Structure 1
Amino acid sequence: MKTDKRKTGSFLALLIQNYVGFTLTILCILALISAVINKGFERRLDLPSTSVLEENEGLLEAGSYDKFPYKKVLGKRGDFAVLDEDCKVVYKSSDEMETSFTAAELYCIPEMTLWEFTETTTFTNQEGKKQILVKRYGQIPSQDGEMYKETESFMILDENYKVLTNTMDFPAKRLGERELQYMTDSVSKKYGYQKHVFTGEDGRKYTAVFKYKKIDDPSYRQIVSALERLWLLTIPLYIIVVAVFVLKLNRKVKVPLTSLSRTITQYQQGEKPSNEYRGPNEFVEIGDDFVRLANRLNESEERRLKADRDKQKMLADISHDLKTPITVIQGYARAICDGMIPEERREQYLRTIYLKSSALNELINTFYEYSKLEHPDFSPTLKRENICEFAREYLAAKYNEIALAGFDLEVDIPEEPLFCDIDAQQFRRVFENIIANALRHNQEGTILRFKIAAEGNSIKITISDNGKGIPPEIADVIFEPFTVGDESRNSKQGTGLGLAIAKKIVKSHKGYISLSKKPEKGMSTEFIIWMKMGETLSET
């Protein structure tokens, strides 16, 4: 199947493409803004960066403490110190960094690579004594080391910070105030502390204690305010993106509609419409459908104009065919009434009037017959007949007229019966009109041949002659009403309705009649009638 290159996909696909493009654009804008916001937070807040620590952990393990980029990890105002297993400081980044930490203090400092949060609650027990509940929420590595699981542990202290209950594995029986401050990140209002435990290349465990600058409330509010203003950019950006995609989609929809409008305008102006639009399948098909509709309307209009012309011609022809005998009858009758005709010629005039009135009556009957066949409610009264016997009886009755006209009749009708459903009176008219047409237009000595044969499930009736033939200029319209070979329409040629009536009768029998373009050898004119044997035959 040939592909229409004008079609670029369905309208649904166009909507999906624009929707997906719009969505991806919005997501990219949001991702960009989020990245800017995150970068702004990291730069303005100087928060500890776990990722930078993990990237440079090898420097700590190798003992290259002076090369460790602690400023990138902790921010510009951060410091760190490294302690061995005995809690002795082996390295510190500056003199401002503390140099003394106990094992209990190190335990209480949260691990930087793990999420940890500690909160305290003071309550009174049933004995009326004040106690402190310390809860720690955090994460610990799973057994495979690839995942983390959340943990929750707690301690209960008395009012002197003595440990009463402990699920944290705290290494002392009493929790000091500074240790509790480390645990709850309240040692200093300016600085926070986190740790990282690692194993050095010598196999010993070390603890890096990181000190970083906390963000104070005014600075935090300033940063949040700036970032909120940045988020406000999403509104104009969203409007711009929506406007761009609306204009783009509007153009994609407007172009085919403009093309269709142009096609309609062409049709209104009497030009031949054409659809050259390239785009979504539906719009191309709508344009093509309109062009086809316009062409059909043009064809319908041409048929209507032709029908009007045929109607005008029919009225003119009927008027002409009626006027001639009426004029003769009126003239002769007037002459007789005025006494202008001698007595010896009066009988001749009266006979002429009689013959002309008979011809006029036959003409009127012919017009009536044609108009009756034209009526939409007309249908023949079908009866099963042996078409061979029917044709023999008709030709026997017609033989004298054929012989008197000087024609030789050749008949080839099989003896075995061939049945089909016909209206005998109407079908006799078919034979009559074809043979009468041959007798009217050919000279004496013409051979008239009538032949019936069975072909498959059909019956073929052939009526031919070797006369002068039908002029080529009317051969294609021979079955149209009022078709005659000479425009003068003399009395010999008749009304031009005979073959038109024959065709309508055959068609009403669901048969088919045609003028053969290649008559059998020796014949110049050949009419072929096809009838379905025993039932009807649709015209093809």
Structure 2
Amino acid sequence: MAREGGSDRGSLRSAARALRGSLAMRCLALLGVYALVLAGLLGGMGALVDGLFDGAFPSMGTVLEYEGELADDRFGALATSRLSNALIVVFDADGRCLYASSERAAERVSAADLAIIGSYAGSSYEVFEEAGEDGEVRYRVMLCAYDGAGGTARRVVDWCVLDADLKVVEGTLFSGRERLTRREFGLIRGLYGARMDISRLDYATSSGESRTLVLATPLVTEEAYVRIADAASRAWLLAVPAALAITAVAALLMARLVRRSACPLDRAIAACGEPGAAPELPDARSAGVPTELVPIYEGFSDLMARLRSARDDQARMVASLSHDLKTPLTVMRGYAQAFCEGRVPPEREGAYHRVILERAVAAAELLEELSGYARTEHPDFAPELVASDARELVAGAVAAARPLADQAGCALEVDLGLRPLPVLADVRLFRRMLLNLVENAVTHNPPGTRVRVSCAPGPRARACEVSVADTGEGVSPEVVDRIFDPFVTRDAARPSGGGTGLGLAIVRRAAELMGGSVLLRERPAVPWATEFVVTLPLEHESASANPEGRS
């Protein structure tokens, strides 16, 4: 359980590192910051515009935003720019003025006016203009209360009718008074003078004392509203270039982020672009490669590694050819020069001629092997696949290799099995492949070594296996992993006469061209020390894998 917990934590840490190194996450973070800044700009402009309207047209709702301060008689909170255009007066239960927003407010609003100023909530006056029996204008004044859920049900508490001179001609409202003054009538209608609305708010402090707040605010006229709307429009117009500037900065930062993310790959390409350069690149994490570009970086790094390997192969090929051609050519040159200078005794001329011939044959065989390897490695090379019995191909190759085994003093055995094994094979490639394996076995082992060539169905009967095993000295552990690479021989020291190292590379390529594979068995059965196994698909399997019948 502890190991599982550690594994989970390791996975979480790996995921966190991948997210931190992700170009997409960096871009999303930048876009998030851009969105927040843009939202802040728009929100700020919205607050500014709201402030313009609130400052120009304050209301009782604006006052109620300071409800907590009013409950504690902290009237200083009302001295805000949002209420600068309003007149505010606060009275206690005895009609004494506790606060006035200005001297004008204290002079113009008195406690005597409270009875006829309409309430903001609870009860209010409603005035209707109508024509009397004599055709003169009359005003019906009703004191209304609002009951029910949310105060939506209206109820008329009292009423009266005023004539054109504001004389009470009917009703009990304002009983005891014959007429109202123009100022009182304006207060009833909610008008303070000709340019302001007026209303009253009754509330209690946190200690339970009664307070009455009177608010007079400018009338919302069309002219004033248009003026403030124009100012708000200009403010929004100023936000446009600011938003464009923010967007431009975000775009530049995004482009810079993408460029910086590609820098590790650019550096790798630049380092490998120098003539003759194929440096070993650091791993993606230490190079700071974004998560999304890791496959590209690792693919490029692998390509550079293959390029280094190819250049190493090229250097090894030049050294190998120089090594293998130098000896026979040097001998041939020395003997030819001896003939030209007349320094060869007559009785030794035959021996000299045989040496020259042997060295010429060795050089020709080397060049032929190199030519065969280059031909099969060419991208345009296509094998001539024909339906054949693998047993017959093996028998023909063994017959051709037997003189070589006899000359080396090795016993060559063959086991062809009991039933045909149809395969699609290139006859020349197959023979070359098997001859190389047999030659490899008899050349690199002492006389008396047994060499067995067998042909049998594969473990799942969908392929045939051609095996070449010997009882010789085995393969050096130093070259096991590179045994099928070109110019690698069984002897790591590669002495003269040790082979070119192309034989097994040709075997691997030939097997691949015929749709198969070759391997060096790790633990061959006793008594065999070395066993190479070539696996080729049977004919019907080859046809399934290649329905077009490549030839």
Q: TM-score, normalised by structure 1?
A: 0.63
- Corresponding residue of 2:397: 394
- In structure 1, the residue corresponding to 2:420 is in which secondary structure? coil
For residues 24 and 440 of structure 1, do their structure 2 counterparts lie closer, same or farther at Cα, with a shift above 3 Å needed?
same
For residues 312 and 190 of structure 1, do their structure 2 counterparts lie closer, same or farther at Cα, with a shift above 3 Å needed?
closer
* C-alpha distance in 1 between matches for 2:82 and 2:350: 131
1:91-240 equivalences in 2 (<5 Å): 97=112, 110-113=118-121, 132=137, 141=146, 144=149, 146-147=151-152, 178=182, 183-184=188-189
How many residues align? The count is 458
* C-alpha distance in 2 between matches for 1:196 and 1:490: 115
1:242-281 equivalences in 2 (<5 Å): 272=282, 275=285
* C-alpha distance in 1 between matches for 2:335 and 2:436: 31
Query: Larger radius of gyration, structure 1 or 2?
Result: 1
Q: Do the aligned partners of 1:411 and 1:450 also contact (CA within 8 Å) in 2?
A: yes
C-alpha deviation, 1:527, in angstroms = 0.8
* C-alpha distance in 2 between matches for 1:363 and 1:187: 118
Q: Do the aligned partners of 2:479 and 2:492 also contact (CA within 8 Å) in 1?
A: no
C-alpha deviation, 1:438, in angstroms = 1.2
Q: Do the aligned partners of 2:404 and 2:439 also contact (CA within 8 Å) in 1?
A: no
Matched AA of 1:347 = G
C-alpha deviation, 1:311, in angstroms = 1.4
- In structure 1, the residue corresponding to 2:472 is in which secondary structure? coil
- In structure 2, the residue corresponding to 1:479 is in which secondary structure? coil
* C-alpha distance in 1 between matches for 2:337 and 2:268: 62
- In structure 2, the residue corresponding to 1:409 is in which secondary structure? strand
Of residues 515, 520, 529, the one that matches 1:515 is 520
Q: Do the aligned partners of 2:125 and 2:142 also contact (CA within 8 Å) in 1?
A: yes
* C-alpha distance in 1 between matches for 2:353 and 2:342: 13
Aligned residues: percent identity? Answer: 23
Alpha-carbon displacement from aligned partner over 1:208-261 (angstroms, at most 9, x marks no partner)? 9x99696899xxxxxxxxxxx9xx999999999999999999999989987876
Matched, 1:443 2:446: yes
C-alpha deviation, 1:386, in angstroms = 1.6
Of residues 86, 99, 118, the one that matches 1:45 is 86
For residues 266 and 336 of structure 1, do their structure 2 counterparts lie closer, same or farther at Cα, with a shift above 3 Å needed?
closer
- Corresponding residue of 2:353: 350
Alpha-carbon displacement from aligned partner over 1:278-323 (angstroms, at most 9, x marks no partner)? xxxxxx8x53455665555454334323322321331232233333
Matched, 1:490 2:472: no
- Corresponding residue of 2:35: 19
- In structure 2, the residue corresponding to 1:476 is in which secondary structure? helix
Matched AA of 1:475 = V
Q: Do the aligned partners of 1:48 and 1:212 also contact (CA within 8 Å) in 2?
A: yes
- In structure 2, the residue corresponding to 1:530 is in which secondary structure? strand
- Corresponding residue of 1:532: 537
Of residues 378, 382, 385, the one that matches 1:382 is 385
Matched AA of 1:272 = P
Matched AA of 1:441 = H
- Corresponding residue of 1:460: 465
C-alpha deviation, 1:435, in angstroms = 0.4
* C-alpha distance in 1 between matches for 2:514 and 2:371: 19
Matched, 1:410 2:403: no
* C-alpha distance in 2 between matches for 1:242 and 1:356: 83
Alpha-carbon displacement from aligned partner over 1:9-62 (angstroms, at most 9, x marks no partner)? 56435533663476469758939966778845557733478xxx9xx9xxxxxx
- Corresponding residue of 1:372: 375
- In structure 1, the residue corresponding to 2:313 is in which secondary structure? helix
* C-alpha distance in 1 between matches for 2:354 and 2:192: 146
* C-alpha distance in 2 between matches for 1:265 and 1:365: 43
Of residues 345, 361, 366, the one that matches 1:363 is 366
110-119 or 477-486, which moves further after superposition? 110-119
181-190 or 361-370, which moves further after superposition? 181-190
- In structure 1, the residue corresponding to 2:388 is in which secondary structure? strand
C-alpha deviation, 1:360, in angstroms = 2.9
For residues 236 and 404 of structure 1, do their structure 2 counterparts lie closer, same or farther at Cα, with a shift above 3 Å needed?
closer
C-alpha deviation, 1:431, in angstroms = 0.6
Q: Do the aligned partners of 2:415 and 2:454 also contact (CA within 8 Å) in 1?
A: yes
- Corresponding residue of 1:87: none
C-alpha deviation, 1:494, in angstroms = 3.0
Matched, 1:430 2:433: yes
Alpha-carbon displacement from aligned partner over 1:422-463 (angstroms, at most 9, x marks no partner)? 111111111100101111122222111222232112322221
Matched AA of 2:483 = I
- Corresponding residue of 1:223: none
Q: Do the aligned partners of 2:518 and 2:534 also contact (CA within 8 Å) in 1?
A: yes
* C-alpha distance in 2 between matches for 1:157 and 1:193: 21
Q: Do the aligned partners of 2:328 and 2:363 also contact (CA within 8 Å) in 1?
A: yes
Matched, 1:5 2:16: yes
Q: TM-score, normalised by structure 2?
A: 0.62
- In structure 2, the residue corresponding to 1:376 is in which secondary structure? coil
C-alpha deviation, 1:417, in angstroms = 1.4
C-alpha deviation, 1:419, in angstroms = 1.8
Q: Do the aligned partners of 2:441 and 2:470 also contact (CA within 8 Å) in 1?
A: yes
- Corresponding residue of 2:226: none
For residues 276 and 44 of structure 1, do their structure 2 counterparts lie closer, same or farther at Cα, with a shift above 3 Å needed?
farther
- In structure 2, the residue corresponding to 1:473 is in which secondary structure? coil
- Corresponding residue of 1:92: none
C-alpha deviation, 1:401, in angstroms = 4.1
* C-alpha distance in 1 between matches for 2:40 and 2:143: 37
Q: Do the aligned partners of 1:118 and 1:184 also contact (CA within 8 Å) in 2?
A: yes
* C-alpha distance in 2 between matches for 1:188 and 1:287: 72
502-511 or 312-321, which moves further after superposition? 312-321
For residues 525 and 287 of structure 1, do their structure 2 counterparts lie closer, same or farther at Cα, with a shift above 3 Å needed?
same
Q: Do the aligned partners of 2:199 and 2:215 also contact (CA within 8 Å) in 1?
A: no
C-alpha deviation, 1:520, in angstroms = 1.8
The root-mean-square deviation of aligned C-alpha atoms, in Å, is 5.8
Alpha-carbon displacement from aligned partner over 1:339-358 (angstroms, at most 9, x marks no partner)? 44344443333343333333
* C-alpha distance in 2 between matches for 1:496 and 1:215: 103
Matched AA of 1:464 = A
* C-alpha distance in 2 between matches for 1:486 and 1:183: 115
For residues 263 and 142 of structure 1, do their structure 2 counterparts lie closer, same or farther at Cα, with a shift above 3 Å needed?
farther
For residues 263 and 359 of structure 1, do their structure 2 counterparts lie closer, same or farther at Cα, with a shift above 3 Å needed?
closer
Matched AA of 1:354 = L
* C-alpha distance in 1 between matches for 2:235 and 2:181: 47
Matched AA of 1:503 = R
For residues 15 and 356 of structure 1, do their structure 2 counterparts lie closer, same or farther at Cα, with a shift above 3 Å needed?
closer
Q: Do the aligned partners of 1:263 and 1:273 also contact (CA within 8 Å) in 2?
A: no
For residues 40 and 119 of structure 1, do their structure 2 counterparts lie closer, same or farther at Cα, with a shift above 3 Å needed?
farther
Alpha-carbon displacement from aligned partner over 1:170-190 (angstroms, at most 9, x marks no partner)? 999x99885865655679789
C-alpha deviation, 1:473, in angstroms = 2.1
For residues 177 and 441 of structure 1, do their structure 2 counterparts lie closer, same or farther at Cα, with a shift above 3 Å needed?
closer
* C-alpha distance in 1 between matches for 2:181 and 2:409: 146
C-alpha deviation, 1:272, in angstroms = 3.5
Of residues 315, 319, 323, the one that matches 1:316 is 319
